[in-house]
Structure 1
Amino acid sequence: MEKVMGLASENGLVIFSKSSCCMCYAVNMLFQGIGVKPVMYDIDQDPEGREMEKALMKLGGTAAGPVPAVFIGGKFMGSTNEIMSAHLSGQLVQMLKPFHHSMS
């Protein structure tokens, strides 16, 4: 958990993913479409990936798995469903404003 939280707090927008995860790619593209480039951590490429996966499941992994796990400002925001819901309601842009000065 310590490594996950440390990496999550190093940057404004962090997505923990797996290199083969299509939903991770979709969430990444959503953020890029808004104009924000997330920092991506592929847990399947990390030697501590299994421990990171367990920590992400404890934070709120779903039946679909622990990724994508999105952190904004070091705070766990959820996975695909939570991010898409926040985007559709307009809340996602508001959450991202501190990390992207040119967003309107």
Structure 2
Amino acid sequence: MGCQCSAFDNNDEIRTNIAEPLIDIIKSQFEEYKVLVYSKSDCEDSQKVKQIFRQNNVTFEYFEVDNMNEGPQLLALLQKITSRKNPPFVFIKGKFYGSSREVRNGFASGELSKALLN
């Protein structure tokens, strides 16, 4: 079951008014962290993806967007970047990888473990 981001229901202003500094912050985070997760603190899938990384001894950074002042704008930007509506948003080496399902399948197939070694 995915998490709902009710902040985006019928709110076109958030979708279109994304501050440039926020985009720059996101880009710098992509460069700084090999594995980056944007999640929500009350999201079951967000908790699952973090648990999967911990079980596989993967060092990762995460941000709980619902606890951030710029959270609504950040979620709008992540939705635009990923074409996904709900967290978690997992980035590997600055590229969108997916959500908990893709991470779980990536480890099961060995693809993600291999990608993290390179």
The residue type paired with residue 102 of structure 2 is E
1:27 is matched with which residue?
A: 49
1:102 is matched with which residue?
A: none
Give the paired residue count: 96
Cα pair 1:13 1:70 within 8 Å, conserved: yes
How far the C-alpha of 1:45 sits from its partner, in A, is 1.2
**Could you state the TM-score of these two structures normalised by the residue count of structure 1?**
0.81
Unaligned runs of 5+ in 2: 1-21
2:64 is matched with which residue?
A: 42
From the CA coordinates, give the structure whose radius of gyration is larger: 2
1:72 is matched with which residue?
A: 92
2:27 is matched with which residue?
A: 5
The residue type paired with residue 22 of structure 1 is E
Deviates more, 1:31-40 or 1:54-63: 54-63
Cα pair 1:18 1:24 within 8 Å, conserved: yes
Residues 1:81 and 2:101 are matched in the alignment: yes
Q: Deviations over 1:24-73 (max 9, x none)?
A: 1111111111111211101111111111101111122535x1x1111111
Unaligned runs of 5+ in 1: 99-104
How far the C-alpha of 1:5 sits from its partner, in A, is 2.8
2:117 is matched with which residue?
A: 97
Q: Deviations over 1:7-35 (max 9, x none)?
A: 23211111000111111111111111111
**Could you state the TM-score of these two structures normalised by the residue count of structure 2?**
0.72
User: Aligned partners of 1:61, 1:21: CA distance in 2, in Å?
Assistant: 19
User: Aligned partners of 1:56, 1:35: CA distance in 2, in Å?
Assistant: 26
